[in-house]
Amino acid sequence: MESTLPKLHHHSLVKLTLLIFTVLHYQLPPVTTSPLPKEALPTRSGYLKVNSSTGSSIFYTYYEAQKPIFPLSQTPILIWLQGGPGCSSMLGNFYELGPWRVSSNVTVEPNPGPWNRVFGVLFIDNPIGVGFSIASSVEEIPRNQHDIAKHLFIAIKKFISLDGSYKTRPVYVTGESYAGKYVPGFGYYALKRNARLPVDSRINLQGVAIGNGLTDPITQVGTHALNAYYSGLVNDKQRKVLEDLQKEAIGLTQRANWSEATNARNKVLNKLQNMTGLATLYDFRRLIPYQDDLVAEFLKNAEVRKQLGVKDNAVFQVCSDVVGTALHEDVMKSVKYMVEYLVKNTKVLLYQGHCDLRDGVVSTEAWVKKMKWERIGEFLEAERKVWKVNNELAGYVQKLGSLSHVIVLGAGHLVPTDQAVNSQAMIEDWVLEKGLFSNDGQKDRMVIDL
């Protein structure tokens, strides 16, 4: 008997230990990990209310300058607006020019050419209803550039009020694609609004930059056929088919039949896509389209959303169909007159990736030639200079006075994605008026580690 008792006691202890381990294992909370490391967190993020009665708010993320070269009170702030219409600036943040970019395995890695190296960068989900921004109702989503700019002005003013040092900092508004309308729309509104405000209540707007922008659609839609033809992508018969479709879009625009004009432009682009068989018109070199779905996948992570200050019930889409529909009639409306006003009252940068077939170089040059600006003739005769970064060819710069035009080689529609370091050099030199953007226009630009 004495020999069996210890044996039974041993088995009982083993069973009890296994039972306790099993209970503890299933009661412990699951370990949650975030693919967004602490060093990748924005300086500030959250919501800026644009309508106190309805609660509609604009979502933002802000990244302070990594290595500012001025006191913070004098360090420029770049504001980034995504295109679409209806696409989230989290695409710009995590796929293009933010300090950390989403990789193919849906984690982030440092961007080799972030735009917040020497500037602060503010990413705004614009208009309300886009990305993580909140529209209280579909009806409140803006249908025109004036109302979009009005919301942006309110939101940016509220952002500036978050820190006393922001008030004196120069502001530059940048963006791409449909932001070819948002950027001049806001710039135009802000300068007009500033004129009616006391100095200490103004937004210190110093310039606007538009990348691969849709700005004067009636002119730009007429360029696709010849561009594709002389690029060797369509033959003469196909060119004529495209030209007929373009004439239809132009005619509808001239008659202010806005919805049908937008549909007609879509027909042109769809036909061009089908004729060429390209993976995407945004970059004729690509075998697969840009992978913006990586950003959507990344932002599904609950911990990432919590770290960014996203509201619990926010539903994220890279591009909102609801906002796209709301702005359907706005698509073919021109804001060229706004750019003409801005180039007379501040400085303007137009840049394009040379592989973009939608809103690329030919498309932009066509409407620039029609600008009503007393110096446009001089600008068109200005020398187009070879632009180098680190002694390597980066593209071409044409500048006269307040207007600069840059062609970025090796880039498509999303210039910072394709040419991170060169796009960083471009934006820094333009803001700081260095290199080819200075008055003496020196020939090269060396990227220096600060």
Instruction: Give Cα separations from 269 to 149, 264, 276, 290, 359 (angstroms).
Output: 28, 9, 11, 17, 11
Phi, psi dihedrals of residue 443, rounded to the nearest 5°: -80, -25
Residues 175 and 317 occupy one common structural domain: yes
Residues 222 and 202 occupy one common structural domain: no
Residue span of the structural domain in which 171 resides: 44-217+291-445
Residue with tokens 């025109």, as numbered in its chain: 144
CATH number at residue 396: 3.40.50.1820
Residues 208 and 247 occupy one common structural domain: no
Residues 226 and 210 occupy one common structural domain: no
Residues 201 and 321 occupy one common structural domain: yes
Give the model's pLDDT for residue 447: 47
- Beta partners for residue 49, in sequence order: 57
Query: What is the chain's pLDDT, residue by residue, as a tens digit (450 residues)?
Result: 333 334 444 444 444 444 444 444 444 444 446 788 888 999 999 999 999 999 999 999 999 999 999 999 999 999 999 999 999 999 999 999 999 999 988 899 999 999 999 999 999 999 999 999 999 999 999 999 999 999 999 999 999 999 989 999 999 999 999 999 999 999 999 999 999 999 888 999 999 999 999 999 999 999 999 999 999 999 999 999 999 999 999 999 999 999 999 999 999 999 999 999 999 999 999 999 999 999 999 999 999 999 999 998 888 999 999 999 999 999 999 999 999 999 999 999 999 999 999 999 999 999 999 999 999 999 999 999 999 999 999 999 999 999 999 999 999 999 999 999 999 999 999 999 999 999 765 554 544 445
Instruction: Examine residue 34 and state whether it is found in any structural domain, yes or no.
Output: no
User: CB within 8 A of 165, min separation 6: which ones?
Assistant: 72, 73
Instruction: Examine residue 166 and state whether it is found in any structural domain, yes or no.
Output: yes
Residues 252 and 311 occupy one common structural domain: no
Residues 96 and 244 occupy one common structural domain: no
Instruction: Examine residue 285 and state whether it is found in any structural domain, yes or no.
Output: no
Residues 129 and 158 occupy one common structural domain: yes
Instruction: Examine residue 27 and state whether it is found in any structural domain, yes or no.
Output: no
Residues 315 and 424 occupy one common structural domain: yes
Token pair listed for 46? 């959250």
Instruction: Examine residue 22 and state whether it is found in any structural domain, yes or no.
Output: no
- Letter for the amino acid at 242? L
Helix (H) or strand (E) holding 208: strand 205-211
Instruction: Examine residue 240 and state whether it is found in any structural domain, yes or no.
Output: yes
Instruction: Examine residue 81 and state whether it is found in any structural domain, yes or no.
Output: yes
Residues 316 and 177 occupy one common structural domain: yes
Residues 178 and 58 occupy one common structural domain: yes
As a whole number of Å, the end-to-end CA separation of the chain is 82
| Residues annotated as catalytic (active site), given as ranges | 177, 356, 413
Give the helix ranges, DSSP H, for 331-435: 336-345, 361-368, 376-381, 415-418, 420-432
Instruction: Give Cα separations from 222 to 1, 216, 271, 331, 346 (angstroms).
Output: 101, 11, 14, 15, 29
Instruction: Examine residue 357 and state whether it is found in any structural domain, yes or no.
Output: yes
- What gap in Å lies between CA 324 and CA 330, rounded to an integer? 10
Give the model's pLDDT for residue 25: 45
Residues 269 and 192 occupy one common structural domain: no
How many structural domains does the chain have? 2
Q: What is the reported pTM?
A: 0.89
